[in-house]
Each structure stands twice: as structure tokens, then as C-alpha cells.
A and B are shown apart, each in its own frame.
Chain A
């Protein structure tokens, strides 16, 4: 058996650590990475409530599956489809961390019943990068240090893209008002407003 100390701790991605819940292991002996790889990725679990059939598109990809009728769109994306970009902050529509687009409108995926997505187009943070690189809003967030811990960032970026497309990003005051549904506990608001001002001219209004 190889000595765990021989392994490079940075073989692990932050996501693998989070998904497997083994943060504590970093302080002691490292787990073999092969074991981690097997545990990573979505873990479909049998639904235990009444189910409904859902057929929709996620980031342009047709997707069909049976879901628990109670499920939120957020839980569906994260727990069944492995799209963990949208975050569960409050789970009550109060923080904006779960923001995604449904039929090109921004919505709180935690308060959207997944069943409502039937026949619709859902876009998450995983679906916005362009073939030639990051979405201009993603790049603008990097350019302006518009984050600290990053937990709210996917929701901020999805809300920001919609804010521009709606035509609500013409002044800093308007940006603040129409981004008020996204809370940033690190307080990166100044950078967020600057990022949106930078990206706005590069994004078409819908």
C-alpha cells in the first residue's frame, strides 16, 4: 500500500473535496485519489415521493427524467444533474445564490418547482461560456475582483447577464436596484457594479 504522505495534496480539486465531504482528511492522512474519483459526480438517488416526468433543455441539452413532484429546480440541477454552479444559500428566495435563467428570464431556482421546467429552456452558470472563452460577464467579474469567497458569484453573474439583457444596467443606481435580489456577504458590491458596467456594452439586449 502506498504511503499516503507520498501523494500530492493538490491532486484534489476543491470540488472533489466538497462533494465527498472529506475536508477533515486534508488535516490527516490523504485518501487515495482513485477512491475519491469513484465517489465524485452526481449520485442519483431513488425518488421517494410521487413522481412526474420532466422533459426540458438544460444548457441547450435535451434532458428527460422522472422527478419527485416536490423537488425544486435547484435540487434537481445540483443533486440529479450534477450542475452544482447554482448555490443553495437560503433556499427561500431571499439571497439570489440559486439564480438561473428559465426561457431567458432570471428566476430563483430554489423557489421554482422543478416540475415547472417541463418544456422549457434552463441555462445555468455552466452553460454561458462561449466557444472562444469566458462570457464577458465572467471575465468582467475577474477583472474587477467582484468576489471574495465566490459562493454568491454564479448567482450574481446569472442575475447580472439578465440585468443587462433586460435593459436595467444603464446607470450604477439602476444596476444596484435591479441586482438587489443577490446578496453578497463578503461585500463585493462595488466590484460587482463595476463588472456589470464593463460587460454591459458587450452583451446584447434581448
Chain B
């Protein structure tokens, strides 16, 4: 790890000014669970760290208005255990409590988690030059395509990259139509979370649309009765403390026993948090049974493409999503 300077700041303005002054090799750090890890692996090499974990008021959780609001530096553990989130938006609480470990959830922030980088083994393990990776070294190639690709994406891959977007929380937020508040040099802007992520296309190193000096200052979720009829189902190689092989976030707006509108997103299978619109279309206006749920789930994977070792994700993903649809429906009172 290269020597570096480290400074703690108290306001977003101060942080942005320090960032701009520090130049190209500056990075913000909050919980550090991802960035510091990548620094140890030689993948991230900042010379200046600006610590934004303790910005004034940035850990605020506010459930009083017509939207849930989570400050960018709110801890994953605190949002997961907030009574309103836990009781009225189980998809959000479950996506957080099934991520990482309690130690890491006590450190990691809900803003930083949106920008977590892939767990692709070739991305993480090849910084010494062993493996090419278009994310680490643009234009160097991709060792995962045609390689040991069991963990890789079946949706959204390009000829340059098939690395999976690793998060759980962003998948739940995608289903719930969340918005992300970003503060930069020119003030604050708000974007739908779907616009935060770039498909890999030919430039997989460009993963987010956030500006270099911008800070995730907050996340908001529209309040909806669908929140209660929601679930986050995550299938892993072990029962706990692992990244998703496949995961499904589902929230259902119901009209009696019919689905008015389903909200579906997938994790573990795609290069970005993946909205399952085809599944939503199948479910619209329908009553729920296992056959219908599986039909919808298969629709979400209609465009999936497997590599050498990850074809299982397509069937596992469909069955997981079908289970999640049934689970969410069973929460309808």
C-alpha cells in the first residue's frame, strides 16, 4: 500500500473542497470495508483519503415524511434494525441483514454500499499481473469470460466483462424505485437508483454515473403499502455470510388477491442490480400461484446467457424468484 494522507471532515462542502484540492489520486472513504480491502489487494491506490463517515447529520434515518430517508453515512446495521424499516419494508431490512456480517454492517454505510465493487475472482486476485481484467486495467482483457465463471453474470454481460454486481441493498432499492441524492461541486442532484449503474459494454471500468467528486448524501424510498408485501430472498453457497449466488427482491401492490403491480429485482446474476420488468408484466392483474410465479420468474431470465460453469444460475434464479414472489404474496393481509 502506498503512503497516503488522511483527513476527517465534518461537512460535505469541506469534503468536496478537500477532494478537489487533493487531485487525481484522492478518494472518499466512509466505512472502508470495501475501499480499504481493495487497497490491501493493490487494486485501489489512493494517495489521499478524505473520511466522510462522520459528516454532520449524514447518519440520519427519517421515516416521518412521504419517503423513507437514509443519510449516506447511516450504518447498514442501524437501517436494518430500524423498526419502521423492519416492520413495513422487510425487503429493505432483509437485504441488509443478509449482507456481510454484523461486524461489517456496524462499519459499512448504506451510501457506500451502493458503490461496492465486484467480487469477481479475477478482478480481486489478479492485481499482481496474473490475470487481465478490463475493470482493473481497461483494455487488458477479461480472464473470466471462458475461464472459471461459476460466479459470473448471466444477465447484462458484454464481450468485455461479465462481473456480477455484488450488492443486496441496491437490489432491494431497485425494486422499491429508490432515489439517490448526490452532492457535488454544483450542489445537490437526485437520480433514480437505476441511473446510478452503467452496464459494462466496452468500458467496464466505468461502473457508476456518479461524478468523481460527488458524495452519496442520501437515499430515499417512496412510502408504499407494497413495502409490507415484500421480501428479499438470497441463495448462497453457505447459509449465512456469503455473497449471493442468486437473490430476488419482490414487493407486491395488491388489489384483493390480484397483483396490481409487482416490483421485481435480481441480484447475484447480473452485471448491475437488475430490474425484472418481464416478470412484472406477467404478474400484472393476476392471482398468485406457484405456476404463475414460475412463469413470471422464467420471463425475467428469458434473455439470460450462460458461460461454461454458471448455467445453473438461470434455473436457480428462476426458482428463487418464484419463491420470493410467493413469499411476498403470503405477506399480503
Residue-by-residue, is B1-22 near A (CB-CB < 8 Å gives 1, otherwise 0)?
1011110100000000000000
Total cross-chain contacts (CB, 8 A): 85
Which residues of B have CB within 8 Å of A180? 101, 239-241
Q: Which of A24-32, A143-151, A161-169, A191-199 lies at the interface with chain B?
A: A161-169
B78, chain A: closest CB distance, angstroms: 10
Contact of A111 (CB < 8 Å), options: B8, B32, B53, B102 = B32
Given contact pairs A106-B106, A111-B107, A116-B51, A181 touches B3 in the complex (Cβ within 8 A): no
Q: Does B209 contact A (CB under 8 A)?
A: no
Which residues of A have CB within 8 Å of B33? 93, 108, 111
- Contact A118 B8, beta carbon cutoff 8 Å: yes
A interface residue count range (under 10 / 10 to 19 / 20 to 34 / 35 or more): 20 to 34
- Contact A70 B3, beta carbon cutoff 8 Å: yes
Given contact pairs A159-B103, A162-B102, A168-B102, A177 touches B240 in the complex (Cβ within 8 A): yes
Number of interface residues of B (CB under 8 A): 28
Complex-state Cα separation, A69 to B1, whole angstroms: 11
Complex-state Cα separation, A178 to B40, whole angstroms: 26
Which residues of B have CB within 8 Å of A115? 6, 8, 51
Which residues of A have CB within 8 Å of B106? 105-107
Complex-state Cα separation, A18 to B4, whole angstroms: 31
A154, chain B: closest CB distance, angstroms: 13
Please report which residues of chain B, range 76-92, place their CB below 8 angstroms from some CB of chain A when the two chains form the complex. 77
A87, chain B: closest CB distance, angstroms: 14
Q: Does B208 contact A (CB under 8 A)?
A: no
- Contact B103 A113, beta carbon cutoff 8 Å: no
Which residues of B have CB within 8 Å of A108? 33, 101, 103-104, 107
Q: Does B49 contact A (CB under 8 A)?
A: yes
- Look across to chain A and name the residue whose beta carbon is closest to the beta carbon of B5: A50
Which residues of B have CB within 8 Å of A136? none
Q: Does A55 contact B (CB under 8 A)?
A: no
Q: Does A16 contact B (CB under 8 A)?
A: no
Complex-state Cα separation, A116 to B33, whole angstroms: 12
- Contact A96 B103, beta carbon cutoff 8 Å: yes
- Look across to chain B and name the residue whose beta carbon is closest to the beta carbon of A163: B102
Given contact pairs A92-B40, A112-B107, A162-B102, A70 touches B5 in the complex (Cβ within 8 A): no
Q: Does A19 contact B (CB under 8 A)?
A: no
Residue picked from A99, A106, A163, A178, most chain B C-beta under 10 Å: A106
Residue picked from A52, A115, A163, most chain B C-beta under 10 Å: A115
Complex-state Cα separation, A113 to B101, whole angstroms: 18
- Contact B4 A93, beta carbon cutoff 8 Å: no
Given contact pairs A107-B107, A112-B107, A52 touches B6 in the complex (Cβ within 8 A): yes
Which residues of A have CB within 8 Å of B37? 92-93, 111
Which residues of B have CB within 8 Å of A99? 103
- Contact A111 B3, beta carbon cutoff 8 Å: no
Which residues of B have CB within 8 Å of A113? 6, 29, 32, 36, 49, 51
Complex-state Cα separation, A115 to B104, whole angstroms: 17
- Contact B102 A166, beta carbon cutoff 8 Å: yes
Complex-state Cα separation, A74 to B170, whole angstroms: 30
- Look across to chain B and name the residue whose beta carbon is closest to the beta carbon of A48: B3
Which residues of B have CB within 8 Å of A48? 3
B100, chain A: closest CB distance, angstroms: 7
Which residues of B have CB within 8 Å of A181? 100-104, 241
Q: Does A80 contact B (CB under 8 A)?
A: no
- Look across to chain B and name the residue whose beta carbon is closest to the beta carbon of A176: B240
Which residues of B have CB within 8 Å of A118? 8
B124, chain A: closest CB distance, angstroms: 9
Please report which residues of chain A, range 101-143, place their CB below 8 angstroms from some CB of chain B when the two chains form the complex. 105-108, 111-113, 115-116, 118
Residue picked from A159, A166, A181, most chain B C-beta under 10 Å: A181
Residue-by-residue, is A42-70 near B (CB-CB < 8 Å gives 1, otherwise 0)?
00000011101000000000000000111
- Contact B102 A112, beta carbon cutoff 8 Å: no
B46, chain A: closest CB distance, angstroms: 10
Which residues of A have CB within 8 Å of B101? 93, 96, 108, 180-182
Complex-state Cα separation, A163 to B107, whole angstroms: 15
- Contact B103 A107, beta carbon cutoff 8 Å: yes
B54, chain A: closest CB distance, angstroms: 9
Q: Does A79 contact B (CB under 8 A)?
A: no
A175, chain B: closest CB distance, angstroms: 11
Given contact pairs A112-B32, A177-B240, A180-B240, A70 touches B103 in the complex (Cβ within 8 A): no
Complex-state Cα separation, A68 to B102, whole angstroms: 27
- Contact B4 A49, beta carbon cutoff 8 Å: yes
Q: Apart from A92-B41, A93-B103, what 6 extra A-B contacts exist at CB < 8 Å? A: A93-B101, A99-B103, A159-B103, A162-B102, A181-B100, A181-B104
- What are the nearest 10 A-B pairs in CB distance? A181-B101, A49-B3, A180-B240, A180-B241, A69-B6, A105-B106, A108-B103, A181-B103, A115-B6, A70-B1
Chosen A-B contacts, 12 in total, with CB atoms closer than 8 Å, are A48-B3, A69-B4, A69-B6, A69-B49, A99-B103, A108-B101, A112-B107, A118-B8, A159-B103, A163-B102, A180-B241, A181-B100
